[in-house]
Chain A
């Protein structure tokens, strides 16, 4: 199944093994297909037309035009974007380099090594295949419960009779003229009733997988290879995955140093205003890598919408709006049995008093996400082998759902905070899609990649043991696993645990440092901060009590202190 699906979608080659010449040709080919290229051509053509017959040496004016019209930066951004899309070679190379430290010539490694979904560790690859199977079976059994076909065209809704006719007849005096708008309420309440009739409501919400299932699957992974590391480890993760050392972390996260002011720590008006000024200036310069660098010290809330869009290449032009509307039309024509599960899941998520007001927005974006084929093309790491829909005997019609990703329990968590970033659903949608495809997909993936949730968990355990060996020993004696508490924090990127403004401070750093490492770092910081309380616990219940409520946590001072001020070397 996997093989034929790869043929269908295309395995996606890598730039890694190419020489510079070939790389630049491929990049140029991508640019030629992009909107930017046509913009530039048009701009140049307009200029030439303006010069009205004066002989113009095109080769001379082009550089000037590019800089005058700010197109140069747009090209630079486009190149960055293309490299980013195909840049997984950089990430795989990281794995290759650390694993094969003594290998003198990386380029002699076989080609498949650099393919996007190749998993170099056998034990992990086996686990990943088993996981895909589990999910597929779970999906089948749940959808069978709903007694609906997997896909079918939506029933035509009966036309709604407008109530306005009645009102007009009653007008006597003081009545407004003419404009009686079409009443929307009957349709809205009808739609609400439809949702109520769909399957899975009013019972225990089933799920395809949740954080516990994934954690169990990960903890089972073991390898019979000899681990040269003789350090006694109390961690649950048995895989000897490379994680950054404290020194490396301090170097990489240097912008979070206590000596530097941060959004999330320093609130004086002068600092915040200054940050806003710098942010505006960078936005007008428009160069994406500058904004990434800027995000490291936190983004002022008033600029987040624009800066997130720029960093994630998620700008919304007419083309994006049209595509989104296309998805909506499709969703109106076809309904899938999975939709019911998604709606029920969203309702469950909206019990949270931070997100319930945005239920419509969440539905509008999350449901479309699952219909979006481009997700499958853009995603950095497939959480599992996409379930394939087959028509007839063996004609593959596409992935089910079209995005190639099956929803975990409370999947809308990944979208939730983004309802606060814009009141336009297209803007929220594309930011969400980019965030998931570039980062959050790793949280649902079994892989040895350094961004995968396995590596993040390993980092958490290593950090905890390094900072608080006494705590680890104590918990070990009591038979308690710290990872059990921290895993959902990392899995859900802290959504549902922290306040919304604090979540954004964490996500700013994910974007700025281009890594999810901040999640285990924060998790370890929370544990270390409460170390004394943990040492006073005598059983599982007391321990769990300590972490029930994270709503008062201020993340940035915690992280700063943890990385730079504990005096640990």
Chain B
């Protein structure tokens, strides 16, 4: 067991670690309690997510990672029974749950990529321009430009540039997921939330997405949920470990994996439960 812990803890990626201490806080979670009906899904979460870095959420199934992630763009509004008990979430210091926040504008600034790739049953081109079209942007030359920029940004341009008007559903799973990323970045959000974006992909497609995440972080703040410890160590700068709706430990990724403060964290990352 102990040798496994060492192998996981050793940093797998050779890229230089970002300086996490200097980064400015973008998302600030204060004493957040969250409920599904009467059932509490998150209790007393306090968390500060830094700008232009990758933050990973890990933890066993059902611990509330997705729930917290979906609080950041208020996707939980779609669930009838979901509601915040107390506490707040601030982005740039603005409470996103306050009455005068327009959820539509919020979601424009906080994009999301889902576990199962979900391109619309439309062409590749229409998928990317969707976010702009719903905001009434129709200018062809501008749309063309955005499509190219986003697809290049998602490392997909060379693969699909000749079939932009084919259905997006004819693409491979990995391509579809990168299309979803391209669709998210087309509206130039500040934050991209990713909920297990690679769980349905093979190792090669996963590697491509991870590489992409690394490139995207120069422009975007990324929060990613993952079940894959190696992935967390490879892509993230900071990691938060959740257990039973509580934030157990939150630290620089390198530190959390090599030298966790908490016994539960250690047990989880060494595979003793989860």
A and B are interacting partners: no
The interface of chain A, by Cβ under 8 A from chain B, is none
